[in-house]
Amino acid sequence: MLLRLPESVSEAQECLAEGAVPVGGATLIWAGWQRDGFPEQAMSLRSLPEANVIGHGALGAAVVLNRVDERVPEVLRHAAAAVGTGAVRRTATVGGNLVGSTLRCLLPAALVLKARATVLDQDRVYETDLAEVLAKHHLLLSLHWREPLASSYRKLPGDAGGPPPFVVAAAVHAQGGGPDRLHVAVRDGYDVLTDDVPCHAGTEAAIGALGDTPVGTLHSAAWEAVCEHVTHLLARPDSR
């Protein structure tokens, strides 16, 4: 297998046109390749500057998870730190986790940041929403977001070999003249739910409004975890 390392967008597009298979850290596909056979060409974005940005409201798809640090919001930093083991985080990439994984551990964090995606195809680079990226398995270059007032992330303990642990992510965003809004996303099993509600009237009102959204349909233990998480976040001074 030939591994190609493009250093520009045009080189990456050339690789795609010639049939190179995009890979992140290959943590998820290596076993399948060993079983089913390796492609003739693969392409990594680890040498592409646009896919390696960190900070100033952006995170590149080729960034490995253990490099996600204080330059990004707390919710995204903690989500990356909670993925797998240290060995996995030294190899797995942001793009591989979001697009190549069924767990998509970073997705709740990206959703509450209202992140947009910059993607690459053979003819152009363009911005789209995460729903399109996941549905069409686009080649992700980077995520971009507007900084929240505050954010937080929690993964509940899980059983080895059991379903994915429950995850809740939350962020408070200023609305530019309107009331601040609380954005919440959860991963329950393999399902992800997200919604947002006003939070200017206090924690009790925000939780009550959240209870009328799809997030409010969670089973009792999950809903309790959401309420506790939201309460702690809205109690922080930086949430106001």
d(CA 26, CA 37): 14
For residue 30, pLDDT over 60 is answered with no
Q: Confidence class of residue 39 from pLDDT cuts 50, 70 and 90?
A: confident
3-state secondary structure at position 80:
helix
User: pTM for the complete prediction?
Assistant: 0.92
Greatest pairwise CA separation for the chain in angstroms = 58
Q: Is 148 left (phi over 0), alpha (psi -120 to 50) or beta?
A: beta
Tens digit of pLDDT for each residue in 215-227? 999 999 999 999 9
- Rounded to an integer, the average pLDDT of 49-66 is 96
What would the two tokens of residue 95 be?
A: 């793009």
pLDDT of residue 78: 97
* 116 band by pLDDT with thresholds 50, 70 and 90: very high
Q: What average pLDDT does the segment 157-181 reach?
A: 88
Q: What pLDDT digit, counting tens, does each position of 155-166 carry?
A: 998 877 778 999
Alpha-carbon 155 to chain mean position: 14
Q: Return the SS3 of 24.
A: coil
d(CA 41, CA 78): 34
Mean pLDDT, the chain, as a whole number?
91
- The residues that bridge with 124 in the sheet, in sequence order, are none
Give 175's pLDDT tier (boundaries 50, 70, 90).
confident
Q: Which two tokens stand for residue 55?
A: 């900070």
Tell me the backbone φ, ψ of residue 14, rounded to 5 degrees.
-65, -40
| CA–CA gap between residue 196 and residue 168 (Å, rounded) | 13
Q: Give the residue from 55, 71, 53, 73 showing the smallest Cα distance to 63.
A: 53
Is the Cα torsion angle 62, 67, 71, 77 positive or negative in sign?
Answer: positive
